Chain A
Amino acid sequence: MDAPVLNVEGLKTHFFTRAGVVKSVDGVSLQLAPGEILGLVGESGSGKSVTGFSILGLIDPPGRIVEGTVRLEGRDLTTLDDKAMSRVRGKDLAMIFQDPMMTLNPVLKISTQLIETVLAHAPVSKAEARQRAIAALAMVGIPSPEERIDAYPHQFSGGMRQRVAIATALLHRPKVIIADEPTTALDVTIQSQILAKMQELCREIGTAMIWITHDLSVVAGLADRVAVMYAGRIVETGPVGAVLDFPHHPYTQGLIGSVPSHAEPGARLAQIPGATPSLSALPDGCAFAPRCAKAIGLCRREAPQIEPLGMASVACHVAQGTGGLE
């Protein structure tokens, strides 16, 4: 792997709520090579979005990054103040959100929202900024962008709005883009169009991407590597082919078993028994142990570390064989 463009190490983001400390992200490490697409998957509430927002420095109180580093081309972003950070956001590091209906400001024209983004990072004239904005809209496949740019968000469909958000994110050809389930709110045909467009554009611009999703089939078609997240930690990561075809971690195995296409037609969907643990009261050992059919005594006592196993890396005592004769 080339020198990673984004290197997250030991990231811990906790929310200090009245009900207790919610350990939404609890020791996540990720590496992203230039131009690479990483799929970040996991159940709802496993901390995927919080990971994304932490990387951008967009965690608000009562949340806080309590530990770890986020290095973008070697520079640790967690040490930057808000002003310095806002020079990185939208320029080298961009993000798109799940719900395109909510992402754009309803009372500002598309042109305003694009042009302000250009001007935030490039010392150009307003006319030049407008030209760049139009070019960005054309790039994401919005027809007749010269006219459409002066429309308001409500005059666009959901798919078109997501394209506008993507155009906004790509304006400054960022090194890394974090896409937080950007197709979940769209219908299936639009989903695949957007997916294909993102893949094409990232390849063209050389942008590396973290694609957050519930949907393993999207990861299979899109990503180079995948990271599986459970209760604030990465439990398994590696090349998509290796992880999806030969999953080591019982949780990954369970996730794959619950994908409809893997089941026999008419057969019941496999489900992981139990529910995700409360992030404010995690068990001592492996967070997945209470739901794991293969758990041994060690799993309940000691949290496993993530270690290389074959082509992937896995955090599981059983898979690593450290359980010994127990």
Chain B
Amino acid sequence: MFAFILRRAGQGLLVIAVMVVLVFFGVNVVGDPVWILVSPDMTQDQIAEVARSLGLDRPIQEQFFLFVGGILQGELGRSFVHGTPAIGLILERMPATLELALVALMLAIVVGIPLGLYAGLYPDSAPARGIMAVSILGFSLPTFWVGLMLIMVFSVMLGWLPATGRGPVGHFLGIPTSLVSWQGWVHILLPAINLALLKISLVIRLARAGAREAVLQDYVKFARAKGLGRGRIVGVHILKNIMIPIVTILGLEFGSLVAFSVVTETIFSWPGMGRLLLEAIQRLDRPVIVAYVIVVVCLFVVINLMVDIIYSLLDPRVRLSEAAT
């Protein structure tokens, strides 16, 4: 178990190293951050001063080695724009994004599994056909368009839910979150639905496919032959089997929820790290972009690790030592 975690951490470090190199030099290819930071009326000397203060006057290789040296001392550099440590900026925004992604994930499970299960158990019924039609829509409509429609219908026309922003932030177990207040939930609902839509469709498909396959299995027939009630057969025998692929895929998809939140956060003015990234890219704020990448890769590594552990708990046939090879 310990060796397994260690190996995963090692793989994560490797990915981080590669990503950092790519992003570091990649940003330089896009443009010179100095030109975005200076104003047009500055003199040549002032501009050189700005470049020097940010260390951007040195050759790129030298900048890179200084940067790596900084990382090794636990220092990711300061934002060119804000002048504060980049990692601090990211971490400050992270709870808002994670909170949004988590609520979206929850929605995907709570809405997707029952609908998918129903569609799988009664594939020819009218509701099942309706569910599948909706899930196709969920797959094919672009996120930003759905987001705008949600705002239009629920905020503008009906006036039920706020269109933008995050609710008041409180603390839960020391973590800053808006989910402790009613207002927080009211604010997060629309962006979370928007972000969850694709995942709900995905879960519906997974649950339906799983259920359709499971009902044909001998163990379901045997469970019926034992005289078990329908509730127990569906709720325990079938559900536990279909949860295995769903949890695995959803866990891995959590990363893409964080990534996709860039779009949703922009539409709903959600103060998360996705919006921060977008701003940083526009301004070529290299330290922030690099810090974002590092944080997200770390997040992925941790998520994958958790998925593997949950997977091994759900499926007794899997041992972690085997999964690692």
Contact = CB atoms under 8 A, between A and B. Distances in A.
Interface of A: 53, 56, 58, 82, 86-91, 94-95, 97, 99, 102-109, 116-117, 120-121, 152, 154, 165, 168
Nearest to B228: A120
A97 B237 CA distance: 17
Interface in B206-224: 217-219, 221-224
Interface string B2-39: 00000000000000000000000000000000000000
A61 B300 CA distance: 45
Contact of A91 (B217, B227, B244): B227
Contact of A121 (B227, B244, B314, B316): B227
Given A88-B227, A120-B227, A120-B229, A106 B241 contact: yes
Nearest to A85: B227
B218 A97 contact: yes
Contact of A94 (B221, B223, B225): B225
B52 interface: no
B222 A97 contact: yes
Contacts of B222: 95, 97, 103-104, 165, 168
B228 A105 contact: no
A86 B218 contact: no
B226 interface: yes
A53 B230 CA distance: 17
A154 B227 contact: no
Given A105-B237, A108-B236, A152-B316, A90 B219 contact: no
A247 B240 CA distance: 50
A126 B296 CA distance: 47
Max chain A C-beta neighbours (<10 A), residue from B223, B240, B317: B223
B240 A86 contact: no
B227 to A, nearest CB: 3
20 contacts: A58-B221, A89-B225, A90-B227, A91-B227, A95-B222, A97-B222, A102-B217, A102-B218, A103-B222, A104-B219, A105-B241, A106-B219, A106-B241, A107-B240, A107-B315, A108-B240, A109-B316, A116-B236, A168-B222, A168-B226
B232 interface: yes
Contacts, number: 77
B225 A154 contact: no
B225 A56 contact: yes
B212 to A, nearest CB: 13
Interface string B225-258: 1111110100011001100100000000000000
B219 A102 contact: yes
Contacts of B237: 105, 108
A120 B226 contact: yes
Contacts of A89: 224-227
Contacts of A91: 227
A53 B229 CA distance: 17
Contacts of B317: 106, 152, 154
Contacts of A82: 230
Interface of B: 217-219, 221-230, 232, 236-237, 240-241, 244, 314-317
Contact of A107 (B225, B228, B316): B316
The residue among B217, B221, B222 with the most chain A CB atoms within 10 A of its own CB is: B222
Given A89-B224, A103-B219, 10 more contacts: A53-B221, A86-B224, A94-B226, A103-B218, A105-B241, A108-B236, A109-B316, A116-B226, A152-B316, A168-B226
Nearest to B237: A105
Contacts of A105: 219, 223, 237, 240-241
Contacts of A103: 218-219, 222
A94 B315 CA distance: 28
A107 B244 contact: yes
A97 B226 CA distance: 12
B241 A107 contact: yes
B233 to A, nearest CB: 10
Contacts of A152: 316-317
Nearest to B314: A107
A86 B241 contact: no
A102 B237 CA distance: 13
A86 B219 contact: no
Contacts of A109: 316
A58 B219 contact: no
B214 to A, nearest CB: 10
A165 B219 CA distance: 10
A120 B222 CA distance: 14
Contacts of B218: 97, 99, 102-103
Nearest to A56: B225
A92 to B, nearest CB: 9
